[in-house]
């Protein structure tokens, strides 16, 4: 049962409207389903759109932000809750605590780094929840190809492909979260390719 999700997404506002529209749609579905969202807490870009839409629909949105970002006023001011951390590392750890799933929307290096860390933790059995990547406008095709290549070249195994799901439309995200293959802490046993 999905009650709370973590959403990684862009801070940039200078991106095609198509990414904002997809974010708005997804936030609407999440709010309608009473799913609580944890995010970076920023007010700009897709993070801002996610928060504004959740709030307008009466949903709960929790931001986790390092203190230095709040000090430079990057923080959204109306979030349901805001948790401040001392470091970026602590922030990333908190994103994944008590979440039932992870959704990644389009984003830059911050989003990619957060997503790849979650995939790495999942490979090691330290994070076991579903990971769904919203491939709006085919933005994540190169990442999909990179992950495929790393399996083809035996840097990961076929078993690892079950760690993530790519979907094209916001309306497919919840289904993908609910239908994600089960993943257990014992995945550490096949983390290394021999």
Tokens 């990619």 belong to residue? 112
- The Cα-based distances of 153 to 38, 60, 93, 113 in angstroms read 35, 42, 30, 22
* Exposed / middle / buried, residue 34 (Cβ in 10 Å: 0-12, 13-18, 19+): exposed
Per-residue binding letters, 100-119, with ligand AMP (x by CB under 6 A): -------xxxxx--------
Nearest residue by C-beta to ligand AMP?
A: 110
Q: Do residues 43 and 72 lie in contact, with contact meaning Cβ atoms separated by under 8 Å?
A: no
Q: How many residues in the shown chain lie near ligand AMP by CB under 6 A?
A: 14
CA distance 123 to 191: 6
Closest CB to ligand AMP among residues 16, 178: 16
Closest CB to ligand AMP among residues 76, 129: 76
Residues 6+ apart with CB under 8 A from 19: 10, 46, 105, 106, 136, 137, 139
How many Cα atoms sit within 13 Å of 156 on the Cβ side?
A: 20
**Residue 56 is encoded by which pair of tokens?**
């307008």
* Of the residues 5, 36, 49, 74, which one makes contact with ligand AMP according to CB under 6 A: 74
**Residue 163 is encoded by which pair of tokens?**
């760690």
User: By CB under 6 A, which span of 41-49, 152-160, 163-171, 181-189 interacts with ligand AMP?
Assistant: 41-49
* Of the residues 22, 42, 51, 180, which one makes contact with ligand AMP according to CB under 6 A: 42
Q: Is residue 128 a contact point for ligand AMP (CB under 6 A)?
A: no
* Of the residues 12, 80, 93, 157, which one makes contact with ligand AMP according to CB under 6 A: 12
Closest CB to ligand AMP among residues 1, 109: 109
Closest CB to ligand AMP among residues 42, 101: 42
The residues binding ligand AMP (CB under 6 A) are: 10-12, 40, 42, 44, 47, 69, 74, 107-111
């Amino acid at each position: 049962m999905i009650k709370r999700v973590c959403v990684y997404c862009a801070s940039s506002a200078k991106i095609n409207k198509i990414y904002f529209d997809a974010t708005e749609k997804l936030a609407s579905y999440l709010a309608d389903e009473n799913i609580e969202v944890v995010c970076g807490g920023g007010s700009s870009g897709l993070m801002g759109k996610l928060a504004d839409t959740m709030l307008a629909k009466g949903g709960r949105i929790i931001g986790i932000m390092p203190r230095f970002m709040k000090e430079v006023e990057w923080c959204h001011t109306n979030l349901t809750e805001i948790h401040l951390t001392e470091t970026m590392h602590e922030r990333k750890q908190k994103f994944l605590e008590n979440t039932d799933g992870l959704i990644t929307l389009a984003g830059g290096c911050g989003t990619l780094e957060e997503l790849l860390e979650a995939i790495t933790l999942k490979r090691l059995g330290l994070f076991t929840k579903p990971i769904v990547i919203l491939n709006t406008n085919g933005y994540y095709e190169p990442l999909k190809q990179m992950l495929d290549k790393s399996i083809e070249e035996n840097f990961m195994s076929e078993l690892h492909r079950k760690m993530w799901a790519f979907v094209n439309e916001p309306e497919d995200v919840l289904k993908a979260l609910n239908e994600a293959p089960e993943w257990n802490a014992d995945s550490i046993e096949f983390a290394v390719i021999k």
